[in-house]
Structure 1
């Protein structure tokens, strides 16, 4: 029969080396399970619709949409793999071993890093489209964007492995007892490369984009632009690019609102306890961003609503459905 001391241990058979259970109230634990599970399922489902839409319909194979596809893949992995594992941290003990602990941190590190880099690439795409529209078709081609996406994911994997190298080389290195999952990284390096540098680049590029967009809008309203056929076509292109810039500006703004609180806490030097309610809320906010992106597309992109309708009704299984006009 277990004593009260043994009942409070993660591994009662390891009396001297086992961690104590950190049990949270049952109502709080149940609330976290339900919310996190719902967000995980919704995130995976919505982003899968984005992936199928852009991959299937040839009309959507544009440079900008390739970047959105890459972002959707990282968001899908967050919903499919990262969020479910995060639920395990609400448990009193970590029971899956040191190697799984290290791999658990590797997967979200890769996906979140890829999300940040994708946001930078989207900002660059909008910057060139608005600030240098005449050269946009030659500078931003589908092939170049595909190479950038490949490099984005390669960089994310390489950076994550380097960041977690000690933990992957010797899993459990920083655990103080059995039943614990502790990963220690150089916070300053992570803060600089996954927050300060990319966020600064995103803000600078989008400030420039909206300054130019505002000046173009004023020019169109005051009829300063020429009314020749050529310039009229250019204005039409600019209007569509401005609309895309506004939509992706919302995506970037939501991204910043979801990511900034977590990194600002790190920047302040405050250390929160792993598995605590404060940590769960901040991490949840970061993961929730992956669920919000497809919702934004549904509100602002008619092509997404049309493609989802075709997917749900299984019309994409029809011959030549990839050639459908959904713009």
Structure 2
């Protein structure tokens, strides 16, 4: 029986946290490094049925993520007609999603299945890319929001404001900025390499240790501010798109006779806004649970209890190319040409894709 409310809160807190770690437990078992009993972690005791099932699912997701995003990268890179400012941002997003499937998901499966035998340096590298690559996805979603905002709300200024050169420069600066920011973010993890035993509980684990101040600052800089900007931009885009859609329905007959190309272009812009709106909603649905969890448990230094939220966080990288498949005809056409090896023919890059 529980004697007081403090014990009740502790008990139910542990129960809730235990539900987030259905695979492993390190309470019993052999040590990861038997020769270093005083500093070694215990080997994870794995419930093999759940571990095999979940790891199989995650492996399949990883392979699908790599294949689909590779198709997007080849499509946008190869066909010149697809070298538009919007598609350049989608290419950057596909590269970051490709790296999630190729690097982060396999290492996340390994980290939560067995002892970490790759060493502290590889642990720091893993967390560096674990921060860097998702941050790039966030910056790409922001760039997409800005691109659609200008295209829908200021269509006459779009060709002069949003050019391929400017978009490439913005994408490059985002990759550079978040590369430097991620180094600062995991600075404490790097310090652990220089000063062994500082915040490191035992050998054989790969855990990210953050101070309260850095955790709050990161939450504000990489989630609250970007999400606020994305939501505000898309609310504006949504309102203007609805107005334009109503206007098009009321004048579509006359305008389609006088200016058929104009109507086609306007429909294309509205469809792109709707498609990228789905992309943003999917992003928020996958990213918000992890950030909300870290906000609630901001004082926790070990994110192992957030395993399922981290998986959902990475699963967004698999969904993005699926959205392309459903909403972009040019992507479906490009996939057919890639699978049938038509892209190996001379001048295939000049194929009409739109």
Which TM-score band (shorter chain)? over 0.9
CA distance in 2, matches of 1:142, 1:315: 27
- Identify the residue that residue 312 of structure 1 maps to in structure 2: 339
- Identify the residue that residue 292 of structure 1 maps to in structure 2: 319
Q: Which runs of 5+ in 1 are unaligned?
A: none
CA distance in 1, matches of 2:297, 2:275: 34
CA distance in 1, matches of 2:264, 2:43: 63
- Identify the residue that residue 228 of structure 2 maps to in structure 1: 200
TM-fit CA distance, 1:21: 2.3
Q: How does 1:82-101 map to 2 (within 5 A)?
A: 82-101=104-123
Q: How does 1:168-187 map to 2 (within 5 A)?
A: 168-171=190-193, 173-185=198-210, 186-187=214-215
- Identify the residue that residue 19 of structure 2 maps to in structure 1: none
CA distance in 2, matches of 1:45, 1:143: 28
CA distance in 1, matches of 2:28, 2:288: 41
Over the aligned positions, Cα root-mean-square deviation in angstroms equals: 2.1
TM-fit CA distance, 1:221: 2.2
Q: How does 1:25-104 map to 2 (within 5 A)?
A: 25-104=47-126
Q: Is the contact between residue 219 and residue 225 of structure 1 (CA under 8 Å) also seen in structure 2?
A: no
CA distance in 1, matches of 2:333, 2:255: 34
- Structure 1, residues 243-273: CA drift from partner, whole Å, max 9, x if none? 1000111111100000011111112236496
- Structure 1, residues 44-71: CA drift from partner, whole Å, max 9, x if none? 1110000000000000000000000000
Which one is further off, 5-14 or 103-112?
Answer: 5-14
Which one is further off, 285-294 or 228-237?
Answer: 228-237
Q: Is the contact between residue 29 and residue 90 of structure 1 (CA under 8 Å) also seen in structure 2?
A: no
- Counterpart selection for 1:217 from 245, 251, 265: 245
- Identify the residue that residue 294 of structure 2 maps to in structure 1: 266
Q: How does 1:112-127 map to 2 (within 5 A)?
A: 112-127=134-149
Which one is further off, 84-93 or 124-133?
Answer: 84-93
TM-fit CA distance, 1:168: 2.2
**Could you say what secondary structure the match of 2:94 adopts?**
helix
Which one is further off, 197-206 or 229-238?
Answer: 229-238
CA distance in 2, matches of 1:29, 1:316: 41
- Counterpart selection for 1:20 from 34, 39, 42: 42
- Structure 1, residues 15-44: CA drift from partner, whole Å, max 9, x if none? 222112231311111112211111111101
- Identify the residue that residue 111 of structure 1 maps to in structure 2: 133
- Structure 1, residues 106-144: CA drift from partner, whole Å, max 9, x if none? 012111000000000000000000000011011000000
CA distance in 1, matches of 2:246, 2:134: 38
Number of matched pairs: 321
Which one is further off, 177-186 or 125-134?
Answer: 177-186
- Relative to structure 1, the CA distance from residue 228 to residue 281 in structure 2 (aligned partners, 3 Å threshold; closer, same or farther) is closer
**Could you say what secondary structure the match of 1:71 adopts?**
helix
Q: Is the contact between residue 226 and residue 232 of structure 1 (CA under 8 Å) also seen in structure 2?
A: no
TM-fit CA distance, 1:228: 9.8
CA distance in 2, matches of 1:51, 1:294: 10
Please, what TM-score do these two structures have when normalized by structure 2?
A: 0.86
TM-fit CA distance, 1:226: 8.1
Please, what TM-score do these two structures have when normalized by structure 1?
A: 0.92
CA distance in 1, matches of 2:229, 2:108: 29
Q: Which runs of 5+ in 2 are unaligned?
A: 1-26
